[in-house]
Structure 1
Amino acid sequence: MNERLDTVIDRAIEEERIVGTVVLVAEDGQVVYRRAAGFADREDGVPVREDTVFRFASLTKAIVSVAALALIERGDLRLDGPVTDWIPSFRPRFGDEEESVITVRHLMTHTSGLTYGFMELPDSRFHQAGVSDGLDQPGLSMEENLRRISSVPLNHTPGRRWNYSVATDVLGEVIARCAGIPLPDLVERLVTGPLGMRNTSFRVGDGVALANPYGDGDPRPVPMAEPHRILFGRSAVLYSPARAFDAASFPSGGGGMVGTAPDFLAFLEVLRTGGAPVLKPESVLALTTNAIGDLRVNAVGPGWGFGLGVAVLKDPVLAETPESPGTWRWGGAYGHSWFVDPVRRLSMVALTNTAIAGMNGPYPDGIRDAVYGVVR
């Protein structure tokens, strides 16, 4: 496996598809592969190290989902409780419905009817309202973004379809209000603190140098501007790298954390082995078991379902993947991918500073195939 992974990484760096990366693989609780390659800052020649801090983007979602499940375990939050219990003013509606009741479950399974900017056409009501996807608009408050989200009609009746969305940002605000403390403090109390994830948070610590972010370009990735736009989905993903340093920006439960590959691998391994000390095994099972029936998960394609925060593999043949049934995974729009295969007792984290190539396409697919020994 090591030689196969080295080949994939070396080729991506040499062909300048990826600027920098950290890849960690654990098997049965032991790290069996570790590699840092390329540059954290290409222009100044700063190499990536294993402990380089990256903007997590949607890796944040799994962490916030675990925090929500911890509150549900304690009886402080109800999975089927309406969001308006905690955010009374949050009442977006679908079409002519008198009221569209969005529950915590809808938020966690991305079946709320909410959406993301890159899922919508450029002239859509969503874009006209100026909604932030959690990666852009430094200084925007949660209150204002919730107002903007509420002003846009839902894409469908809650529970009717799966649609990737700002739901985890809303979830983050729900659990913060439920606990009575800011989301960054809550996540530290319930998840990152107990697990010793010292380099993972919503705040960039003093003296911490984040990996410089790059966007896909021709002939090679380009340093991200402020702001930066990458065509993706039905429109584009909007980035503001400076957001990570702006304390006035709302803490995005869907994409606002920064952290390291070792921290995130430790988080995944705790979940794979039962959840202690942050969750009970039955909560981990709820997180990682398909909870949406036969609804199509359009972000990852056929063969996948979705649990209470992660995609869950139902049919490897349909999904055209070597992963085992029951594998759970996700990624991050700054250029990341990860998966846990509970059957093979495998956990893999691949962080890069290159969007979108580090998240979608030949690089993450090649890493996955190299882990399983698949030749395509």
Structure 2
Amino acid sequence: MESNIFDTQTNAAVSAQDARLKERIDVVIDRAIANQRIVGTVVLTIQDGRLIYRRAAGLADRESETPMREDAVFRLASITKPIVSATLMRLVERGQISLDDPVTRWLPDFRPGLEDGSEPVITVRQLLTHTSGLSYRFVEPAGGPYDQFDVSDGLDQPGLSLKENLDRLVKAPLVFPPGKGWRYSLGLDVLGAVIAEITGKSLPETVKAEVLNPLGLESMSFVVTDPSRLVTPYADGTPTPVRMTDGIALPIWQNAARFAPSRALNPASYPSGGAGMIGTAGDVLRFLETIRTGGGSILSSQTVAEMFKDQVGVHTQTHGPGWGFGFGWAVLNDPELAQSPQSTGTIQWGGAYGHSWFVDPTQKLTVVAMTNTAFEGMSGVFPMDIRNAIYDG
């Protein structure tokens, strides 16, 4: 039987505090669905090891009126990054790689240059913290080099190989000298290739051996094995969200994020270390709880403490004012500046298909809010309302 993070939960009567929390979060979910800002969601919350909220609501597929289920499988998008970051840190702990190794030690041909033609050294640490000078296509201005070379962000172009995408990426000039800035990037996709070189196995095989199997995350993978549980993705729309199809491009910043939902069903698609995994809300919660409680069977507490540290500085505003970045996620340095009720040291990130999560170590709190609606579920009103409902008690 599939392992479940809730196996140890009891059926004890819900406390008055839990009842009030449930009422607040239910209001947020019901309002978002009624206002057609999201189609469906699974929200899970644990505090100090105790499940204090769980709900699947709305529809996994609107057109067939399929209800959302707690074991629904989502395209994780950037929730992939913490999983792959943890996999890399397992190799660091064993001494198989150093964070300060040049990437060319493992990928001799990966030598992107600056505008002046020079080819600076990029380290593993810089890829991990998005300080390498690489970028994402959706972050860069429309018509720029990433567009010109048709670089994939790991969400589109089913069947594209990793070698081909890295060959395209290396042609685009670095946006700054490595270590001299912060830019959300394809660094984790490059690290996926590094991990494969180190282990002599594919990235999916290594992630499964190092993280998924030890934690019993049987629904997590890079390719869907049970399509019947895979939710249908939707894009923000007026008056209702729009069903996603391959090739859809959603405007964001100066460009657009391109999606191909069929990618998750295509084994020939390269395993994107930054965006390529699928899994359930419970899978994500179990992983994050393992991190919150010190690493469990996958990482030492010292490594986890380093991953929680801001590695880039609050000036980078990685998740807005007050946020820096650790290994795999944003780190909250200044709650007042961020105008957040979360504690200093909270880690947080999301996923472009419509997800958000955070871990507040001071409050011993882990929250996962998965939706099938982009970008509302990632960066719209919904995740902010969920956060505020949790802290309003």
2:68 to 25, 48, 53: 48
Alignment match, 2:386 = 367
Structure 2 portions without partners, runs of 5+ = 1-20
Alignment match, 1:258 = 278
Alignment match, 1:273 = 293
Contact kept in structure 2, 1:162 and 1:297, CA below 8 Å: no
Alignment match, 1:6 = 26
Question: Is residue 356 of structure 2 the alignment partner of residue 305 of structure 1?
Answer: no
TM-score by length of 1: 0.98
Equivalent runs, 1:220-259 vs 2, <5 Å = 220-259=240-279
Alignment match, 2:79 = 59
User: Which has the larger displacement, 145-154 or 279-288?
Assistant: 279-288
Contact kept in structure 2, 1:53 and 1:210, CA below 8 Å: yes
Alignment match, 1:332 = 351
Alignment match, 1:33 = 53
Q: Following TM superposition, by how much is the alpha carbon of 1:4 offset from its aligned partner in structure 2, in angstroms?
A: 0.6
Equivalent runs, 1:114-193 vs 2, <5 Å = 114-193=134-213
Equivalent runs, 1:71-86 vs 2, <5 Å = 71-86=91-106
Q: Following TM superposition, by how much is the alpha carbon of 1:208 offset from its aligned partner in structure 2, in angstroms?
A: 4.2
What per-residue deviation string (whole Å, max 9, x for no partner) do you get for residues 91-111 of structure 1?
Answer: 001222532111110011000
Alignment match, 2:6 = none
Aligned-partner SS, 1:359: helix
Aligned-partner SS, 1:58: helix
Q: Distance in 2 between matches of 1:208 and 1:47?
A: 12
Q: Distance in 1 between matches of 2:359 and 2:192?
A: 24
Contact kept in structure 2, 1:331 and 1:359, CA below 8 Å: yes
Aligned-partner SS, 2:331: strand
What per-residue deviation string (whole Å, max 9, x for no partner) do you get for residues 65-103 of structure 1?
Answer: 000000000000110001111111000012225321111
Aligned-partner SS, 2:214: coil
Alignment match, 1:323 = 342
Q: Distance in 2 between matches of 1:288 and 1:309?
A: 9
Q: Distance in 2 between matches of 1:245 and 1:280?
A: 34
Contact kept in structure 1, 2:314 and 2:322, CA below 8 Å: no
What per-residue deviation string (whole Å, max 9, x for no partner) do you get for residues 161-210 of structure 1?
Answer: 11001111111111111111000000000001100001111121145431
Q: Following TM superposition, by how much is the alpha carbon of 1:292 offset from its aligned partner in structure 2, in angstroms?
A: 1.1
Aligned-partner SS, 1:84: helix
Q: Distance in 2 between matches of 1:306 and 1:139?
A: 32
Contact kept in structure 1, 2:80 and 2:276, CA below 8 Å: yes
Q: Distance in 2 between matches of 1:151 and 1:118?
A: 17
Q: Distance in 2 between matches of 1:233 and 1:282?
A: 37
Contact kept in structure 2, 1:138 and 1:240, CA below 8 Å: yes
In structure 2, give the amino acid aligned to 1:144.
Answer: E
Q: Distance in 1 between matches of 2:227 and 2:236?
A: 28
Aligned-partner SS, 1:119: coil
In structure 2, give the amino acid aligned to 1:102.
Answer: I
1:100 to 115, 120, 135: 120
Question: Is residue 366 of structure 2 the alignment partner of residue 347 of structure 1?
Answer: yes
Q: Following TM superposition, by how much is the alpha carbon of 1:276 offset from its aligned partner in structure 2, in angstroms?
A: 1.6
Q: Distance in 2 between matches of 1:82 and 1:207?
A: 40
Q: Distance in 2 between matches of 1:14 and 1:271?
A: 35
TM-score by length of 2: 0.93
Equivalent pairs: percent with the same residue? 53
Q: Following TM superposition, by how much is the alpha carbon of 1:293 offset from its aligned partner in structure 2, in angstroms?
A: 2.8
Contact kept in structure 2, 1:112 and 1:159, CA below 8 Å: yes
Contact kept in structure 2, 1:287 and 1:308, CA below 8 Å: yes
RMSD (Å) for aligned C-alpha atoms: 1.0
